Chains A and B, each alone.
Chain A
Amino acid sequence: GENVEQHPSTLSVQEGDSAVIKCTYSDSASNYFPWYKQELGKRPQLIIDIRSNVGEKKDQRIAVTLNKTAKHFSLHITETQPEDSAVYFCAASGANQGGKLIFGQGTELSVKP
């Protein structure tokens, strides 16, 4: 089955710097890759997603890139702010899988003022 590895497990940046979180997946049939943000004690919330027919997607300060050949995808956050501090999860899902998401282990991002 699908396996998703996420790195790093923790990431500390200064306010205004960029942050990059990387994930690799094992199943070449996976075609949907969302990123979730989870603040302490809260539910995961979708922040951006990408499908396998697209190489890059941007939404203001957030971007996701996908390399299907290498089977990895990354989250890029520019001009980080203290409110970006949270745990970020990547996930992967395959076609005809009923939306089953396999999650990475999470990255705890800390943005220092």
Chain B
Amino acid sequence: NAGVTQTPKFRILKIGQSMTLQCTQDMNHNYMYWYRQDPGMGLKLIYYSVGAGITDKGEVPNGYNVSRSTTEDFPLRLELAAPSQTSVYFCASSYSPETQYFGPGTRLLVL
């Protein structure tokens, strides 16, 4: 199993551009999550999903959107990139609403 994979690893965006961060898991986990981690800080939950077709907001959802059309994929969409969205983004998944396995992260720089 590859576990949780994320693409791209690194991306530079200009202010106002949009992009989609991809997250895929091959563990047949129902629960998936998106976090952001600012330098020297903890992780903040952006959005989460308890199963295909179901998504809900976390602590910091503004400026982001998600969809969950399949069990495996949970893409995160940034519509109008802002410098405040410069961060490292981690996707995670879990079989039950407890032990979460993290992907390798996507480093995003908005200039």
Tell me if A99 is interfacial: C-beta within 8 Å of chain B: yes
A64-B15 Cα distance, complex, nearest whole Å = 44
Q: Which residue on chain B has the smallest CB distance to residue A46? A: B99
A106 vs chain B, min Cβ distance (A)? 5
Given contacts A43-B90, A43-B104, A103 and B98 within 8 Å (CB-CB): no
Q: By the criterion CB–CB under 8 Å, are A99 and B48 in contact?
A: yes
Which size class do A's interface residues fall under?
A: 20 to 34
CB proximity to A under 8 Å, residues B82-103: 90, 94, 96-103
Residues of chain B lying within 8 A (CB to CB) of residue A105: 41-42
B32 vs chain A, min Cβ distance (A)? 9
Tell me if B45 is interfacial: C-beta within 8 Å of chain A: yes
Q: By the criterion CB–CB under 8 Å, are A46 and B48 in contact?
A: no
Q: By the criterion CB–CB under 8 Å, are A103 and B105 in contact?
A: no
Residues of chain B lying within 8 A (CB to CB) of residue A43: 90, 102-105
Residues of chain B lying within 8 A (CB to CB) of residue A63: none
- Residues of A at the B interface (CB closer than 8 Å) are 1, 6, 32, 34, 42-46, 49, 89, 93, 97-106
23 A-B residue pairs with Cβ-Cβ distance under 8 Å, sorted by A, are: A1-B59, A6-B42, A34-B99, A42-B104, A43-B90, A43-B102, A43-B104, A45-B102, A49-B99, A89-B43, A97-B97, A98-B48, A98-B56, A99-B48, A99-B98, A100-B48, A101-B33, A101-B100, A102-B45, A103-B44, A105-B41, A106-B41, A106-B42
